[in-house]
Amino acid sequence: MAKLKDEGISVGLAVVIVGDDPASRVYVNSKKRACEEIGIYSEEYALKGETTQEELIELVKKLNEKDDINGILVQLPLPRHIDEEAVINAISPEKDVDAFHPVNVGKIMIGNYDFLPCTPAGVMELIAESEIDLAGKECVVVGRSNIVGKPMSMLLLHKNATVTICHSKTKNLPKVIKRADLVVVAVGRPEMVTGDMIKEGAVVIDVGINRLENKKLVGDAHFESCKEKAAAITPVPGGVGPMTIAMLMKNTVKSAKLKAGRK
């Protein structure tokens, strides 16, 4: 960051939160802390739950025009009366550091992108740092959301993996998971994937975060049973979550660089 500042490049992130969802507040606070730690200027817009869709989109349009803001993040989920798709579409693709805008989604599909969705990008970074060669590997992604499952499958495909996407209608899910060299699970169901469902030596990447009745945080994979068979497994919390925040910071910095004509 100091080098960018020396070159006259400032980096700014605007985070918008609507309502008082406790989980969203935790996420927003962690993003603000990350900005402070690495020296990114940040603005928070905490809007009341009854904020209208029109008011939210008007704010997004104003942020699109702000020169000191390079990234705009609208924390999801939004209240039910607001159309998330309309809000995402209102964000300038050049400031869409979540990479949810259709323009950025399309770029990811063809492999010529500026930004990647933060969680899938974090997963790919973990894979790269662990020196896992994906070429020819059988990868199973459990979950087909626009935020994780779909872009995750595309990124694995770009690395020459053979990818299967599973979802609620998949028949014989345990059998499909069993053949995977690498499993990415992102469905929001606590400890759904158990050790007997994975093959010996598989890599398990757990994107889920769920709070049990006893307040314990767990992932979508049953850590204790899976770790007995897995070659590697990410913990929850402390695995993919911090990588998601790191990738958000990376996207925001990249947006500032692109604006300044830098790659």
Active site residues: 31, 75, 98
> Is-contact 180 139, C-beta < 8 A?
yes
**250: phi then psi, degrees, rounded to nearest 5:** -60, -45
Tally Cβ neighbours within 10 Å of residue 64: 16
Q: How many CB atoms lie within 10 A of CB 253?
A: 20
Which of 155, 80, 160, 161 has the alpha carbon at shortest distance from 118?
Answer: 155
Q: Which residues pair with 108 in a beta bridge?
A: none
Tell me which residue of 16, 257, 250 sits closest to 121, measured CA to CA: 250
**Which segments of the chain does DSSP mark as H helices, in order?**
2-6, 22-38, 53-65, 84-90, 102-110, 118-129, 149-158, 173-178, 223-227, 240-259
C-beta of residue 193 within 8 angstroms of C-beta of residue 171: no
Three-state SS at 153:
helix
